[in-house]
Structure 1
Amino acid sequence: MSGRWTWHGGGLVAARRHFGDGDWIDLSTGINPHPWPGVTDVALDWQRLPEPEALAAIESVAASHFGVDPRHVCAVPGSEIGLRQIGALIGGPAQHIAPGYRTHGAMIAGSTATMLSAVRDGGTLILANPNNPDGRVIDSNAMQMLLRRRGSDGWLLVDEAFADADPAVSMAAAVSDAPRLVVFRSFGKFFGLAGVRLGFVIAPQAIIAALRDQLGAWPLSAAAIAIGSAAYADHAWTAATRERLPRDAAALDAVLTTHGHQPIGSCPLFRLIEVDDARALFERLAQRAILTRPFADQPRWLRISLPADAAALTRLDVALADG
């Protein structure tokens, strides 16, 4: 199977080239299929560099969304860049939880993959909560324990790319200048606008200052600042989306269960299923212009994102039945 689809979600151009044109449904990304609708109404000024006040403003409105002090927030051009920059700043030995994001293993040279149950005391630990691709959620008590176990020589680095759907899972409020804790947030997944390339690092002020030095004067585009500022300020849409996503996930669960699949995970933006031959199922769905996410190192896993509407869910239902 092509690494284009096992590396990360997306790849519709490659899918069309390999499987043929058609009315494709992309269920491979884990991105909200109901994007924030105000994006086309945002006024953009492409003639001027973003002002420092605009950057401070988006960090302030995002900090309010996260429930943290703005002094601990730094906007970055995508959370992956933030992960890699913080990894380089912290350095030293580290553990990263597997399965998880590929970037976590590349953040710190020599980072060792381990299962959550095998996490040792001390040293830096990198994990996602909710996790990807299995949707595992670690409760707040367990996260606090993991932070305490880092000791004086390690950090807890928490990728919360999927945490916006349920803010109760977030560790952001625990960030201060004392705990060795860094939290990463992504704009694109919950707001359904991955192309904006916007993320945030929430960290002690000394880390934030060092990160700003690396990023330079204009880390974000004018579009990212304007769209992100408006979207984070839209509290009504955020509240409605947090109610809608679990309902949509339940509808997806019902379809998967009908066809004998046991949905895995608690993140409402995607589900993982385990089948005897995930590659065969991936290709069968792709032949019907439905793109899902397989995994090279887990040949029995297939991740399926939320369909955008009832028609897309019905197409998935029919394709799963047509075995």
Structure 2
Amino acid sequence: MTASISTIGAFRHGGRLREAMAAYPDAPGPWLDLSTGINPEPWPGPRAPADALTRLPDPRDLADLEAAAARAFGVADPGRVVAVSGAEAALRLLPGLLGGASAALLAPLYGGHVEAWAKASLVAELDDPRGRAADVLVVVNPNNPDGRRISREALADLAAERSDRGRWTIVDESFVEVAPELSVADLEIDRLVTLRSFGKFYGLPGARLGFAIGNNGFVGDLRARLGDWPISADALALGLGAYADVAWRTSARDWLADQAARVDAVLARAGLKVLGGCDLFRLVEVADAHDLFARLCGQGVLTRPFADHSNRLRLGLPSRKDFNRFEQALQAVRS
């Protein structure tokens, strides 16, 4: 069966595996989901104990988690760190919290930001002066989907200059764990908001955990919006364990870098040009990316196409055990 790419919502974002399975019922299983930039080998620690699910999360545990995250992010004051049910949830709240008549989003970038700021946004290039003059500037660093990087120094200078002029800068660092030298989360710039994701690097997106870091006024307003129990017992337990595991964090970074290099070699042999990415995903250029997407679906491999770029495809990294299948599927559709 050949399904239209539009039938599975693939253009919106990755992760719609059940739709892909329904559209391609004859594909061999189990499916290999490479449609998202998520570590395929997650942090292996325990979830919440059973009794934690029978009571409300304790505010002291939430404070402990935010302190653990602050240490991992290099943030001196844990009071500046707010746990949320994923960076996606935080970014949707920002327009209501920050206001602003104009918002500039540095293109290309994650579509959730475009949707969140739809009433005020201008999608701009990095050197567009209109973007730099907007009330709110949104930057993803490293960027999704092309991996564009802005140095910590350049971003810090930009955010400080904008703050002095009464303008907000939002930096989405959802992928920064694989490039920690880029992070500005620790900087106490008044009108700087930094977003961090737990699920991507730690490979546990279903936990729905993320963080927003900002000044005291911002975090107070955000906490008031979120209420007393913003995250689940599982998110608390997983975050507390994972952020304390420095050894795993170091080894995961090394492995992801090695695995990304292996993926690059396979892509090159298949004649696919790597345009960019980071150590959690790769963006490739191919003449008919939509056709390649469909062919890979026929092999039970889900990737991420783009409505506005029919020659681009994003692929996440396979795990160790799935690497040979990824390589064989690509060979099968490119031979």
The Cα shift of 1:23 comes to 2.1
CA distance in 2 between partners of 1:56 and 1:316 (Å): 41
| Conserved 8 A contact 1:255-1:317 | yes
Aligned equivalent of 1:131, options 121, 143, 146: 143
The Cα shift of 1:146 comes to 2.4
| Conserved 8 A contact 1:156-1:180 | yes
Q: What's the counterpart of residue 306 of structure 1? A: 317
CA distance in 1 between partners of 2:120 and 2:89 (Å): 19
Match of 1:116, SS state, is coil
- The number of equivalent residue pairs is 319
CA distance in 2 between partners of 1:33 and 1:196 (Å): 15
Q: What's the counterpart of residue 15 of structure 1? A: 20
The Cα shift of 1:270 comes to 0.3
* Partner deviation per Cα, 1:18-47 (whole Å, 9 max, x = no partner): 11252211111111000011135x424111
CA distance in 2 between partners of 1:197 and 1:76 (Å): 8
Matched, 1:168 2:181: yes
Aligned equivalent of 1:81, options 84, 89, 109: 89
Q: What's the counterpart of residue 315 of structure 1? A: 325
CA distance in 1 between partners of 2:271 and 2:329 (Å): 14
CA distance in 1 between partners of 2:280 and 2:193 (Å): 24
Letter in 2 for 1:104: H
| Conserved 8 A contact 1:88-1:107 | no
| Conserved 8 A contact 1:263-1:271 | yes
Matched, 1:33 2:40: yes
Match of 1:271, SS state, is strand
After TM superposition, the structure 1 = structure 2 runs for residues 24-63 of structure 1, keeping only pairs within 5 Å, are 24-40=31-47, 42-44=48-50, 45-63=52-70
* Partner deviation per Cα, 1:108-143 (whole Å, 9 max, x = no partner): 331111111224333310010011111111112221
| Conserved 8 A contact 1:137-1:266 | no
RMSD: 1.5
Aligned equivalent of 2:231, options 220, 225, 229: 220
Matched, 1:106 2:111: no
Please list every run of at least 4 consecutive aligned residues from structure 1 whose deviation after the TM superposition is greater than 4 angstroms: none
* Partner deviation per Cα, 1:74-130 (whole Å, 9 max, x = no partner): 001111111111221111111011211112113333111111122433331001001
5+ residue gaps, structure 2, are none
TM normalised by structure 2 equals 0.91
Matched, 1:95 2:108: no
After TM superposition, the structure 1 = structure 2 runs for residues 1-12 of structure 1, keeping only pairs within 5 Å, are 1-2=5-6, 4-12=9-17
The Cα shift of 1:266 comes to 4.4
After TM superposition, the structure 1 = structure 2 runs for residues 123-202 of structure 1, keeping only pairs within 5 Å, are 123-150=135-162, 151-174=164-187, 176=188, 178-202=189-213
5+ residue gaps, structure 1, are none
TM normalised by structure 1 equals 0.95
| Conserved 8 A contact 2:273-2:285 | yes
CA distance in 1 between partners of 2:96 and 2:330 (Å): 44
- Alpha-carbon spacing, 1:39–1:5, altered in 2? closer, same or farther (3 Å): farther
The Cα shift of 1:236 comes to 1.1
* Partner deviation per Cα, 1:207-251 (whole Å, 9 max, x = no partner): 000101111111111111111111111111111101111000000
| Conserved 8 A contact 2:273-2:286 | no
